[in-house]
Amino acid sequence: MNPELTQVSFPVADYDLHTTLASGQSFGWRRQGDAWTGVIHGRWVRLRSAPSAIQAATVQAPADWRWLREYLQIDAPLDRIIATFPQDPWMQTAVRACPGLRLLRQDPWECLAGFILSSTKRITQIEQITARLCACYGDPVGVPLGVEPAYTFPAAARLAACSEAQLRACKMGFRAPYLLAAARHVAEGRLDWKQMASSPIGEAREALVAIPGVGRKIADCVLLFTGLFPQAFPVDVWILRTLQEQYFKNQPVSPKKILEFTEHYFGPWAGYAQQYVFHHARMQGAAKRGDRDKALP
DNA sequence: AACCAGGACACAA
DNA sequence: TTGTGTCATGGT
């Protein structure tokens, strides 16, 4: 149809594209109908799920598709990963409830910035803020005819050159000074991603927590969603509530105890387990709210 | 219309 | 160490 489009199909088993892209690990994907569009490594992409395959389209034929396979983590051995999860009933329920849920391998800076913007925000709002940020300070990328414009996620140096007021104009509120500080930190080259990748997780986490506005939770999100440390286990309000209910008899547990628990109980792929816990808990919450809302007059 | 959201931080006790 | 208030914003 569109002469510029280059398409490819990746055979996949057990990959739920919709659940994965909507599971709150990345904030740059937009859905229209059954298709998802986003920008990866400066390239516009449209993804669609087909039976036992993911179809991808870009505007110009890339030399190869490794960048996309890696981003989507198509070759991650999901069945073997899930086999390492704890065998307790609730964990198994969560696994069955989210078949094909995957983790992506995201760009470190985009991931860091996205999660700095995530604090006490709903996922839809984080997506809106990042969209404004990209439109204002990102670079336009080539899109097919008739498709709305798309932009890269702005580089750290670009945001570092902004004023706090300019960032606030993207409706990020009190997160603006944090994002600005982080952008400067990264733009000054004070974060060595390569070294982090070859460091123990504790050292990598320390390097992230040294950034203003980045605490343990956001640091763990970055460690996990960049694909560097699959054992990283971000504990947010959903996870905290759920673990308390399921593993601590609904008793209040200190943050320290929770972290201690997550660091040994969920195994070497704890971060994947975490995503199943998170997504299942969130879906259950939505279902409950839906039920209650329907019951109201 | 009030409530609360994938937190972090400064400060109190 | 654990508990508070504060920070903006808008969807439900």
Q: What is the pTM of this model?
A: 0.96
Residue nearest to nucleotide B4 (CA to C1'): A120
Residue nearest to nucleotide C3 (CA to C1'): A254
Pairing of strands A30-32, A140-141: unpaired
pLDDT tens per residue across span A10-41 = 999 999 999 999 999 999 999 999 999 999 99
pLDDT tens per residue across span A213-270 = 999 999 999 999 999 999 999 999 899 999 999 999 988 889 899 999 999 999 999 9
* Rounded-to-integer distance, Cα A238 and Cα A275, Å: 11
The pLDDT of A203-212, averaged and rounded, is 97
Residues whose CB is below 7 A of strand B: A 23-25, 115, 118-123, 125-126, 174, 178, 209, 212-219, 221, 234-239, 274-275, 278, 282
Task: Please state whether strand C lies within 7 Å of residue A166 at its CB atom.
Answer: no
Residue A165 parent element (H or E)? helix A164-168
Smallest CA–C1' separation from A274, nucleotide: B6
**Residue closest to A173 by CA, chosen among A132, A134, A224:** A132
Query: What Cα–Cα distance (Å) separates residue A117 from each residue in A35, A85, A146?
Result: 25, 30, 31
* Rounded-to-integer distance, Cα A193 and Cα A109, Å: 9
Smallest CA–C1' separation from A124, nucleotide: C11
The CA radius of gyration of chain A, in Å to the nearest whole number, is: 19
* Rounded-to-integer distance, Cα A238 and Cα A123, Å: 13
pLDDT tens per residue across span A64-84 = 999 999 999 999 999 999 999
Tell me if A67 sits within 8 A of A40, measured CB to CB.
yes
Residue A244 confidence (pLDDT): 92
| A294: pLDDT strictly greater than 70 | no
* Rounded-to-integer distance, Cα A150 and Cα A296, Å: 41
* Rounded-to-integer distance, Cα A278 and Cα A23, Å: 9
Query: pLDDT above 90 covers what percent of chain A?
Result: 90
Smallest CA–C1' separation from A170, nucleotide: C9
